[in-house]
Structures are given as structure tokens and as C-alpha cells.
Amino acid sequence: MFSSSGGLKAMCRLRRRTWGVVACALLALAATGCSSGSPAAPVRLDAGPATAAAVAPIRLSISGLPAAGLVTVQARTSDDQGRPWESAAVFRASTTGTLNLATAMPVSGSYHTADAAGLLWSLQPAFTTSPGTEFATSAAGFAVRLTVLTGGQVRATATLQRQLPVTASTQTVRQDGFAATFYTPAAVRPGAPAVVVLGGYPGGEDMLGGYPGGGEEISVALGLAMSGYPALAVGYYDEPGLPKCQCSTPLEYFAHAVSWLRAQPAIRGRPVVLYGASDGAQAALLVASYLPHLADAVVASSPTDIIHDAAGGTGPGWTFDGKPLGAGMLIPVTRIRVPLLMGDGGQDAVWDSAGSARTIMSELERSPGHAPATNLYYPDAGHYYFGMFPYFPFFTNASLGGSPQANALATEQFWTRMIAFLNQLPAHESATQALPRGHCVSQAIERKIIHRRRQRTVQGATTTTQECARCHNHHIAIRRPSPSRPLPAANAEFSTFK
């Protein structure tokens, strides 16, 4: 969260737990602390960039270590209340005395996979926690102190300054019938698209304790702005002049937001992308289906393929052209005519986002003239891996599924693929045509969701394509395992077609 009397908040709620994992790593350090004899050669810690935006990936390598010896790397920072947060991991150096955290698997510690940023996203509170414990930092960012130890002795240190946010301007929009916060980057990438960000439940965009913005849509919008993409974080309920619940929300509401964004001088001629997560993914897919001319691409994280009732209230959740959209019916995704990127976790405890994504991909694949579509599947991730940009102390709510590590890795990998997706979009063409209002929707789309789920149960497995998260050019055909069979590694990604 971004908070202080002089700045924005960027929130990352931390799951209720103590820092016992970190303590384990420190105990492992103590166990190795007496194994060293005479002083070793100087150790060099290469950590950087020393100062960078919080969304920037990091490098962390060490040389001059004892050959094949154990080494502990610690990270420490403080939140905006001065409370300590710590992470640590024990590694075994190579036979040449080197260590690269991007490729080295920890022996023990606060995370258990090879990842240069593991010490950042696994930072945990080194104090007694409460249900509301969360990592918070001021707009100035936070400093992470890195320490390398061998034989119980400090051998090298470095500090990483993580800055946020880096924007040229922040504009609160309360006009044209919608509520939003617009973030303009200090340096806009040439040709970069602008992104309309729609959060999930609760969907009001003022969720950071009275500061301008605060849900996952704000965190994502800030991350995009720090990466060079103009971003409009749109609230669609629980805002002044808006319903207190997500009840009968007209899809035309989002059209007002997109039209306002396209009219901004800095955005003209740029593609506009709809980004939605959770209920926001439902909104993005509905808008792209019923208003296919509106945006140039869609990103849907933890999607659903069905239309839901109101969130936080009763009655229909959505309307179009003044008519309610029937709950329980499939979203008519075959109308989508723009590129689509989806991400979903196999341990989603809110709804079956992975099954929904497979259904959406199947419907699109059978739709003539469909645009490119990609689904990224993370078997061990849950529902909430989208609410924060990567390389940040990670929050996961156990009730939403997935392990902290799997969710953090899914966040990092999905963000990287999303940025590549945005960079590949062509310039906006105003001649893009909407489908006729009377566009036929097939009976397959109109069928009841209960029938679709019955089909899923009978099928058991579907053919798909596995794509290694670390080497995207390697493709092999596999059989998608049924829920009773072991799932692939946590960093596996799947794409049914492009």
C-alpha cells in the first residue's frame, strides 16, 4: 500500500503468519557458522539496480565464496511504521565459489525456488502479527538491505532502493458518468497502449484508507505507469454517485471510461486495452463481447466464463442496452474480435478460473475469424495472484487458494508475459467495426452452465500445449491431468492456441 501524509499508498496485505520460515533459515546459518577456519578471499555481492522502480526486475549474484560451501543471504527492510520485515535463504555455492540467485535453488529459507527476486517477495514480518498485518510503504518507496554471510561472518552487503510510484501526473476523474484515477508515466514508452484497469470485488476504486485509489486495480495501474504505460483505474461501485454494490452495472459505463481515455491528447492514436481481474475480468470479457469495437485487446486474470449475479447485493450484476444479462449463462466470447490474454490458477478457491479459461479458449477456437488468444495456467496458484505488481512483498489470502510462493511466481511470470503482450499490439485503428447488434449467438453459448459443467466432469482430460515458463520457444503436446492426478510444476504455463 502507498501511505503517508505526503504520498500515495500501495498495499500488499500479508497473510497471517509468523516469520518462522525466516527463523529456520537463520538457524541453518547458525548451524554452519562454526565450519569456517581461516579468513577467505573477499566476497563480492553484485546486486542491482541500486535504485529503480519497484516493478523493475533485479539481479543478485555473489563471487569469492568458499567452493561448494554454504552461504546465507538475508534481506531486511522496514514498513511505514518502522516495523522490521525479513527474509533469508541458505544456498550452496558452486565449485568455483559463485552463486547466482536467478538459477540457484535454496537449501532452506523463506522461499524454495530459483528466483533472483525471491528475497523481495518472501519478506515477512519479524514481529507479532495480527489479522490486518500488511506491508506498507510511503510513496518514496522502501530500502532493502542485503547481507551475505559465510561461517557466521558478514562477508558483503548491499542496498536496493525500490521506488514507487514514478508518474508524471495523477488525475482523479469524476466526470462523464464514471469514477477513476488516471496515472500518466513520467516517460511513456513509444507506441505504448493505454490500459483501463478494472478490479474485482470489492470493486470501488477507493480502497486504500481514504487515499486516491486502493484496490488491486490501483496497484496494477501504478505498476503499469511505472513501466511506462498510461493507466486508468476505474471504480464501478461504492463510489460517490455509484451504487454501493455491484448491482445492475451497465456495460456502457465502461464505454464512457474508454471514450474519455481515448480523448486525452497523450493517448490519441494509441491502442486501449481492457485489463480485468476476478469480477473485473468478468466485466472486461462482457464489454469485449457486447461492445467488440470498444478496446483493442483484453487481459483477463482469474476469469469466469459465466455471467454472475450482483456482488454485495441482489439481482442482476450487469446490464446492456437497458436489459439485465442473465446470470448463469455463458459470456458470449465468440463475439470478441481483439487479442486476448488470460491467466488462471489451478488452486483457485473462489471459482474455477482454469476451467472457465479452457471453455473460453475452446469457444474462441471454434469461432470463425477469432483474434489471437493465449491462456497462461499456473497449477499451484490461487485466485488472488493479480493484485500486486511483481518483486514486492507478497500477500496471499489462504481462503482464495494457492501457496504464497506459487502466487508470487504467478504474479511475476504473468506480469512479464502481459508486458510482452502489450508491446506487441499494433497502433489503434479507428475504423474497427462493431458487430451488428443482432449478431447471432450460437446455441453452444446460450446453453446453461450446469450442462457445461456436466460435460467437464465426463471429459476428465483435454488436450493442450505446455509452454515452459523459462523458455517460451519449447512446445510439447500433453494431456491435461484430471483433478485426481498430480499437477505439473508450479511455473508451468499452458496455451491452447494462438
Average pLDDT rounded to a whole number, residues 42-49:
97
Domain ranges of the chain: 10-163, 167-428+440-492
**pLDDT confidence tier of residue 200, bands split at 50, 70 and 90:** confident
> How sure is the predictor about 2, in pLDDT bands with cuts at 50, 70 and 90?
very low
Local confidence band at 472 (pLDDT 50, 70, 90 cut-offs): very low
Fold for 10-163, please state it: Immunoglobulin-like (2.60.40)
Rounded to whole angstroms, the Cα distance separating 460 from 480 reads 9
Grid cell, residue 429, equals 485503428
| CATH homologous superfamily for the domain 167-428+440-492 | Alpha/Beta hydrolase fold, catalytic domain (3.40.50.1820)
How far is residue 196's CA from residue 187's CA, in Å, rounded to a whole number?
A: 18
How do residues 120-160 score in pLDDT, each as one tens digit?
999 999 998 877 677 888 778 899 999 999 999 999 999 99
Average pLDDT over residues 21-26: 45
Q: How far apart are CA 320 and CA 315, in angstroms?
A: 14
Per residue in 378-407, pLDDT (tens digit) is: 999 999 877 678 998 875 555 688 888 999
pLDDT tens sequence across 167-178: 778 898 987 778
pLDDT, one tens digit per residue, over 209-250 is: 333 344 678 889 989 999 999 999 998 887 766 788 889 999
Question: 10-163 and 167-428+440-492: same fold?
Answer: no
State pLDDT tens for residues 264-302.
998 989 999 999 999 999 999 999 999 999 999 999 999
Split at pLDDT 50, 70, 90, the class of 93 is very high
